Each structure stands twice: as structure tokens, then as C-alpha cells.
Amino acid sequence: MALLFFIEELAVVNLIISIPALNEERTIARVIESLPKKIPGVENISVQVIDDGSTDRTVELAKKSGAHVFSHGANLGVGAAFHSAVDQALECGADILVTIDADGQFDSNDISRLVSPILKKNADFVTANRFAEKKRPKNMSRVKFWGNQRMSHLISKISGKKIKDAACGFRAYGRDALLNLNLLGKFTYTQETILDLCFKNFRLVHVPIVVKYFPERKSRVVSTIRRYAVQSFLIILKSYRDYRPMRFFGYTGLLIFLAGIALDIFVFVHYFQVGTFSPYKAFGFLGGLLNLIGVLTGIMGLLADMLTRQRLTQEKILYLQKSRKYAKK
């Protein structure tokens, strides 16, 4: 046991810092140059930039600054950029992947704080927490702050774990977490990643940070708050459906069934009072239809729950295949 512990202590830890970028020529070089060159417990640090279809000098400046650049060739979205970051990090033998924005709003010195819980084996993935002081960061809009709070509350309810900042992209992932990630969303990834890993019982740690917002900067992800909210909610809804099908379909079916029962009771009460179903006969047919739909939705939940067992088995197979494919040499 002592020998194994000694070997584990000597194991080389490779850290890859990944930066998704779309037309970030003004800040990309400065962000790359600010990244830490040494971190206690980390042997190798390398930087990769995921170019999501930039049309300015982002790629040129990133290469000049010493980063490895992987280009999509077209704008596919932040979610797709994260998928590429994970694949490239595993391909390059990363033990830890850190994702940080290209606009300079995060302090690069906080990277060592993010990777520390993973190095100490106290966490499987770590997310920065912009709201540790429970107040709105300077220059962050009230609408965006309120939306982030509501989103974190919703993710907490669904995952069963306290999530303090569900939408922050400044994070660190251990190798095992990366190998187990299976994401589908292309619009964004922040909420889906938390749900995917929390549902698989990976340990999450929050690290408080200070973030800088630039009022003049337009978000590359959030073209409008409404679109971002809708797209994020759909991703969360799909994740909940896939990982908690009995609850998703069961609650939905129960609500539909109870609505049908309410109509049934109303029609029968009317019948006993006046001796006829008219003029509410249609309500009786609608109530019966809702009862049927509710029962069928519940049955769908049972079938989905059975399929979930197969999906979990398939994810284990995927994990083993990824482990072989990305085995460190």
C-alpha cells in the first residue's frame, strides 16, 4: 500500500487550460499570457483555444501566444466548443481540464484554486462561484443576476444538490469526470454538465471568485435573455427527462389525470343536481380523454425507466471505450 501511494504521488499531472473563442482578437493574447506557468502539484500545463468560427485575427494571435488552436471552421455554439475541448483534452492526455473565457473577465490566478480540490482528491469537478457574497457582481445586469439565481435554484432542485452558480463557465474537471461526460446540447453546456455529473454522483466543489463584467461587451452566448432562458430550460428539461423519467412522466401524467378527474367530478355533480349532463356533456368527454392521456403518460414513464437502465449500461460501455481510446501512454 505504501508503494502504491508513493507511485501515485509521483504520477505526472497534465493540466490543459481550454479557451473557447469567437472573434476575441482584442483580448485573446492577453488572456493566454496571463495564464499560470506553474501550479504546485501539476507537472505540465498547456493551453488550447477552441476557435468557434472566428473571422478576425483570433486564431493568428492565439498561435503567436503559444496556444494550440482547434478550429470548427464555422460557428457551432458554446456547447459544441466545450465538446471539442473535452475531446481534445482527453486526446492530449489531460488529467485536469480547466475552461476559462477569452474576454478576461476571470482572474487567471484563480486557476490554481480551482484545480486544488481535484489534486487533493476532494472533488471530481470544480466550478467557480461568482455569487459567494450573495450579491450582484459589479456591472452585471439585474435581469441576468436574477436569472442566474433562479437557474441555480432549479438545478439544485432537480439534482438534489446545492448548486451555487449553475451557469459559470470557469471550471475544472478531473479525468474521470471527463471520461464520464456525455452531453448533447450545442447551445450551451454549463447546466447540462452539472446535471450529468451530479446524477452520476460525482463530487462537486464551489470556489468563490471575483469576476469583472464589461458593460460595453456583448455576450457571444446570450444574444437575448429570453432566448438564453428558453434554450437553457429546454436542455435542463431534457436532462431531467433522461435521468429521472419516472418523476418526469409520472408527475406530468398525474397532473393530467387529476385535471380529468376534476372535470369528471364537475360533470357528475351537475348530473346529480339537475338530472342531465347537458350542457356540460363535452366536459365529460374531455375529462375521460385527460384520464386516458394521464394513464398513458404514466405508462410511458415506466417504459422510459426501463430504457434508462439500458442507457446507463451503454454509458458504462462508453466509459470503458473512452478509457481505452484515451489511455495515457
Answer whether residue 185 shows pLDDT above 90.
no
Q: Which pLDDT band, with edges at 50, 70 and 90, does 136 fall under?
A: confident
Q: Which pLDDT band, with edges at 50, 70 and 90, does 213 fall under?
A: confident
| 18-33 pLDDT tens trace | 999 999 999 999 999 9
Measured CA to CA, the distance from residue 222 to residue 228 in angstroms comes to 6
| Of 159 and 188, more confident | 159
Tell me which amino acid residue 313 is: T
CA neighbor of 20 nearest in space, from 96, 98, 91 = 98
Q: Are 123 and 205 contacting, i.e. CB atoms less than 8 angstroms apart?
A: yes
Percentage of the chain exceeding pLDDT 70: 92
Q: Which pLDDT band, with edges at 50, 70 and 90, does 275 fall under?
A: confident
DSSP for residue 120: T
Q: Which pLDDT band, with edges at 50, 70 and 90, does 4 fall under?
A: very low
Q: What Cα–Cα distance (Å) separates residue 164 from each residue in 20, 141, 157?
A: 23, 18, 12
Answer whether residue 235 shows pLDDT above 90.
no
Measured CA to CA, the distance from residue 60 to residue 62 in angstroms comes to 6
Measured CA to CA, the distance from residue 66 to residue 183 in angstroms comes to 29
Answer whether residue 263 shows pLDDT above 70.
yes
Residue linked to cell 501511494: 5
Answer whether residue 70 shows pLDDT above 90.
yes
For residue 121, count other CB atoms closer than 10 A to its CB. Answer: 10
Answer whether residue 126 shows pLDDT above 90.
yes
Q: Which pLDDT band, with edges at 50, 70 and 90, does 176 fall under?
A: very high
Helix ranges (H only) for the chain are 2-10, 28-34, 58-64, 78-91, 111-119, 142-159, 175-180, 190-199, 225-243, 245-274, 281-325
If DSSP states are collapsed to H, E and C, what string results for 78-100? HHHHHHHHHHHHHHCCCCEEEEC
Burial class (CB in 10 A: 0-12, 13-18, 19+), 263: buried
Q: Which helix (H) or strand (E) holds 69?
A: strand 68-71
Least confident stretch, 110-124, 191-205, 278-292, 306-320:
306-320
Mean pLDDT to the nearest integer, 244-256 = 93
Least confident stretch, 12-21, 74-83, 101-110, 167-176:
74-83
C-alpha cell at 125: 469537478
| 294-313 pLDDT tens trace | 999 999 999 998 888 888 88
Q: Which pLDDT band, with edges at 50, 70 and 90, does 215 fall under?
A: low
Residue linked to cell 369528471: 264
DSSP for residue 171: E
**Biggest distance spanned by C-alpha atoms of the chain:** 87
Answer whether residue 54 shows pLDDT above 50.
yes
Percentage of the chain exceeding pLDDT 90: 59
Mean pLDDT to the nearest integer, 52-74 = 93
Angle at Cα 245 formed by Cα 125 and Cα 82, nearest 5°?
Answer: 35
CA neighbor of 168 nearest in space, from 139, 193, 133 = 193
pTM assigned to the model: 0.83
Q: Can you give the pLDDT at residue 206?
A: 96
Measured CA to CA, the distance from residue 231 to residue 227 in angstroms comes to 6
Q: Can you give the pLDDT at residue 217?
A: 59
For 32-62, letters b (16+ CB in 10 Å) and e give beebbeebeebeebbbbbbbbbbeeebbebb
Tell me if the bond preceding 279 is cis, omega within 30° of 0.
yes
Measured CA to CA, the distance from residue 190 to residue 171 in angstroms comes to 9
Q: Are 131 and 164 contacting, i.e. CB atoms less than 8 angstroms apart?
A: yes
Mean pLDDT to the nearest integer, 260-286 = 91
Q: Can you give the pLDDT at residue 186?
A: 67
Q: What is the mean pLDDT of the chain?
A: 88
